[in-house]
Amino acid sequence: RKEVEQDPGPFNVPEGATVAFNCTYSNSASQSFFWYRQDCRKEPKLLMSVYSSGNEDGRFTAQLNRASQYISLLIRDSKLSDSATYLCVVIALDYKLSFGAGTTVTVRA
Amino acid sequence: GAGVSQTPSNKVTEKGKYVELRCDPISGHTALYWYRQSLGQGPEFLIYFQGTGAADDSGLPNDRFFAVRPEGSVSTLKIQRTERGDSAVYLCASSLMSGDNEQFFGPGTRLTVL
C-alpha cells in the first residue's frame, strides 16, 4: 500500500466552480501535512500547509482529519490559472516528504 | 535571491553509461534533498544531506546511485551503469535547516536512458 494515495483525476471544471479532492495517508505517526502545486514540466511548489484546525488561504481551504487519516483541498471560484497537479505531502520524520501521485485539475473557460 | 538550480536540465545517455547530476541549493540552506519523479508519479525521496554528511540515504534504489556534498553546498548525484528504468526527473530541494518543513525545489534534471 502506498504511503500517500490520491485520486488522480482529472477534475475538469468550469471557471468559477468549486472543486474538492482528498488524499489518504497510511502512517498514523505522520506529523505534518502539505499541499504542493506542480505545473506541467515544472518543479513542485508549496501551496499551503495543512493544520489540524483547518486553514484557508484565499480561495483555498485545507482540512485534516487525523482519525480517518485524510487531508482535503477545496478550491473556490476556480481560475484558469488553477489548472495544475496538486500533490498531497505528508511528513512522518522531520525532513522526509512523502508525496502522493497528484490530482490533476483542469479549469476551462 | 536565486533559487535552487540544477544542471543539466536535460541529459540523454546510453544504457551502461555513467552520469552526474548537479544541484546548487539556495545560499545558506544547510539541508539538501534529492528526489526522483517518474511520469505520473509524485517525487520519491532518495537522499538527505545535513551539511556535508548524508544523514539518510535510505531512498537510494541500489548501489549504482551515490551522492556527495563535499563542502556542504553543491551536491552531485552520481549514477553508474545507467539502466532504462533510471529514466526520470531528478529533483533537488533545499531547506534552511533540518526540520524546516518548507523545501524549495529546483527545476529538475530530466534523465533519459536509451
Q: DSSP letter string over A9-68?
A: --EEEETT--EEEEEEES-TT--EEEEEEE-TTS-EEEEEEE-TT-EEETTEEEEEETTT
Cα distance between residue A87 and residue A98, in whole Å: 10
Q: Which of B42, B56, B106 sits opposite A99 (nearest CB)?
A: B42
Residue A13 C-alpha cell reads as 471544471
Q: Is A95 helix (H, G, I), strand (E, B) or coil?
A: coil
Q: What pLDDT sits at residue B100?
A: 62
Cα distance between residue A45 and residue B91, in whole Å: 12
Interface of A with B (CB under 8 A): 4, 8, 32, 34, 42-46, 49, 87, 91, 93-102
Residuewise pLDDT in 10s, chain A (109 residues): 789 999 888 999 999 999 999 999 999 888 899 999 999 999 999 999 998 888 999 999 999 999 999 999 999 999 999 999 999 999 887 678 899 999 999 999 9
CB atoms inside a 10 Å sphere around CB B67: 22
Centroid of chain to Cα A40: 16
Q: What pLDDT sits at residue A95?
A: 77
Cα distance between residue A36 and residue B101, in whole Å: 12
Q: Which of A46, A87, A95 sits opposite B48 (nearest CB)?
A: A95
Residues (pLDDT < 50) of chain B are none
Cα distance between residue B106 and residue B95, in whole Å: 12
Q: What pLDDT sits at residue A92?
A: 81
Interface with chain B: mutation pick from A24, A34, A36, A43, highest number of B CBs within 10 Å: A43
Q: Are B48 and A97 within 8 A, CB to CB?
A: no
Q: Which of A49, A95, A101 sits opposite B99 (nearest CB)?
A: A95
Q: In what order do the strands lie in the sheet with B19-24?
A: B5-7, B19-24, B75-79, B65-68
Cα distance between residue B10 and residue B111, in whole Å: 6
Q: Are B48 and A102 within 8 A, CB to CB?
A: no
CA distance B76 to chain A (A): 18
Residue B25 gets which letter from DSSP? P
